[in-house]
Amino acid sequence: MTTSTENNGVERASRRVVQGIVSGNGSDKTIAVRIERMFKHPKYKKYIRRHSKVHAHDETNEAQVGDRVELMECRPMSKTKRYRLTRVVERPSLPDGALRPTEVQDAATADAMGDASGEDNS
């Protein structure tokens, strides 16, 4: 591992940096990120895709579902959080007037609740 020097001159190993897609942001200051990796099978030489889901600390709640983000390894912040958000690499491009996945879910829930109450809108 390479080493890096901080302001106080103490040497430490560099921290792992990974990229992934945000799969959930329901908790405050926490995001769930799906990290995909590809490797070649040793015997069959076929490329295999594997993924892992990690939780990361998002101090400003800036990441949304579907964003590609960059995470850096850090000290344990909770039972499951071992990464922190460094930056949002890119946001998904949506057509004009399109709803984000959370807005679609909210609209569907409101529509279902309206139908369940038995109100006639005609």
Strands (E), 7-104: 11-13, 17-24, 30-40, 47-57, 68-73, 81-90
Per DSSP, what are the bridge partners of residue 72? 17, 84
Q: Give pLDDT tens digits for 48-103.
A: 999 999 999 999 999 999 999 999 999 999 999 999 999 999 998 767 666 666 66
> In terms of pTM, does the model score above 0.85?
no
Structure tokens, 35:
């990290």
- What are the extents of the domains in the chain? 14-116
CATH superfamily of domain region 14-116: Nucleic acid-binding proteins (2.40.50.140)
Task: Count CB-CB contacts under 10 A for residue 66.
Answer: 16
CB distance 32 to 53 below 8 Å:
yes
